[in-house]
A = this chain, B = another copy of it.
Amino acid sequence: MQASVSVITLGTTDLVRSRRFYSEGFGWTPVHTSDVIDFYQLNGVVLGLFLTPLLEEDMNRTGLVTPGAFALAHNVRTAAEVIPLMDRLAVAGGRITRPADAPPHGGLRGYVADPDDHAWEIAWNPAFAMDAEGNVTFGL
């Protein structure tokens, strides 16, 4: 079975607020927007921001809560990009939960929660190679 992830769907309670974080903060342009779901094309993966009650309906369950026990990471190419991007995300409605510092494995990273409290790690990790499209390869 091919090891792959195709879509990451994050529940949101306010799409306009989410759009500000992802479009103005990260600077990403959605490939599709609507009143209930926005999509962003990432590196071979699609990111969806979906109204949480509709995500629950699609999943056939209720009681989704935040902050969930997960984090997404957006790696950047140089250490100098980490703090400015975290600051932009905070201006666009995010909340810095860990200011940038050096993790035990090296590099530089901090965490920003999106407006729905989903955690994004902003990281420069020299051990993980990154190609021109933003695809990363695990390394130690």
Contact = CB atoms under 8 A, between A and B. Distances in A.
Chain A interface size, under 10 / 10 to 19 / 20 to 34 / 35 or more: 35 or more
| Copies of this chain | 2
A23 to B, nearest CB: 10
Nearest to A26: B1
Contact of A42 (B4, B29, B59, B140): B4
Contact of A7 (B9, B10, B39, B136): B136
Interface string A42-80: 111111000010010011110111111111111100000
Contacts of A40: 3
Contacts of A130: 6
B39 A52 contact: no
Interface in A110-140: 111, 116, 118-119, 121, 123, 125, 128, 130-131, 133-138, 140
B66 A68 contact: yes
Given A26-B1, A47-B5, A119 B73 contact: no
